[in-house]
Amino acid sequence: MATTDIFEKLKKLQTILVKKYDLEKKIQDAPKQLSSQEELLARMKKEFIEKNEEYETVKSNVLKLKFDLEEAVKSRENGEKGMDNIQTHREYEALEKQISEATERENEIRKELQKEEKSLEEIKDTLKINEDMISSQESELTSSKATLNKELDGYNSELNSLKKSEDKITPDLDQEILFKFQRIIQRNSEGIVAVRNGVCTGCHMILPAQFANVVRDGENINFCPYCSRILFYEDTGDEEVYDSYFNLDEAGSLADLDDEFSDEEGFDEEEREEKLYDEADEEMENDEDTDEDADDEEDQDASEEDEEDEEE
């Protein structure tokens, strides 16, 4: 099979594989969409169970307080009834103490009972709210599962269609190249890219000139040495720029420039440095001569001005 035909098949396969891998990822991540809802529902149920246990505890305390209250009331009432039958002062004091303690105990129990009954009602209301929220969350979760299952059915149907298209292309391709191609697309979403003016459009790296020319010839399947993508040459219309850029014979090198300079001057590095120092000294001497000439001209002008002043 000609490389141009292989490139065309790989381009078509690339489009299929990108969609395929995207669908597979969606199918894999689909259950995660429900995990947050399931976690919320589980947390709400746990809180409901804990609150219900608290409700049962408070309810038990309320029943005990009611029993204690009845006992305290009976003790007070019995003491009050015994007042009618007392015969001695000692009996009076005993009954008086019984009535006083029973009354105090009754008041304390009533206060505690009112507090616990209020707490019991609050917990009961909270449980009702939590129960409604759990019911709503369960309904929402059921609806989400139904929607997700519908989406998964659509994904699987599209995936099967893509698999059929893939099976029509892959048998004609080299299996080793196909394996590498699939691995590249899974990482980068592009497995085959163009080379334009010697640059890989996948990683935007400049390719070695000789290798770029091999890709340009298109006789074999070549992989980018930087990003491992399969490369094919794409004409941009800048052939003159391309040929000039990658013609090493005409481009020369930095070493060539250095050789030209050495040949032209005809001396080594030490002689070159000496010449530079000599030129610098000569330039400084010229500057000094220029400054001296300027000073002489200034002195001459000053003398002429003095002579004119004397004549006047």
* Residue-level pLDDT at 246: 47
Q: Strands 222-223 and 192-196: what pairing?
A: unpaired
* Residue-level pLDDT at 83: 80
Q: What is the pTM of this model?
A: 0.53
What phi and psi, each to the nearest 5 degrees, are found at residue 266? 80, 30
* Residue-level pLDDT at 21: 93
Query: How many CB atoms lie under 10 A from the CB of residue 105?
Result: 17
CA 145, CA 83: separation in Å to the nearest integer?
Answer: 75
Which of the residues in the chain have pLDDT under 70?
Answer: 1, 237-312
* Residue-level pLDDT at 167: 92
Instruction: List Cα–Cα distances, 182 to 4, 82, 92, 117, 205, in angstroms.
Output: 19, 101, 103, 69, 22
* Residue-level pLDDT at 276: 43
Query: How many CB atoms lie under 10 A from the CB of residue 157?
Result: 11
CB 51 within 8 A of CB 124: no
**Strand, coil or helix: 243:** helix
* Residue-level pLDDT at 134: 95
Across the chain, the runs of DSSP E, i.e. the strands, are 192-196, 199-200, 222-223, 230-233
**Given the structure tokens 């994904």, which residue do they identify?**
155
* Residue-level pLDDT at 277: 46
Under DSSP, the state recorded for 196 is E
Instruction: List Cα–Cα distances, 240 to 38, 218, 245, 246, 247, in angstroms.
Output: 64, 19, 8, 10, 11
Which tens digits make up the pLDDT trace of 47-74?
Answer: 999 999 999 999 999 999 999 999 989 8
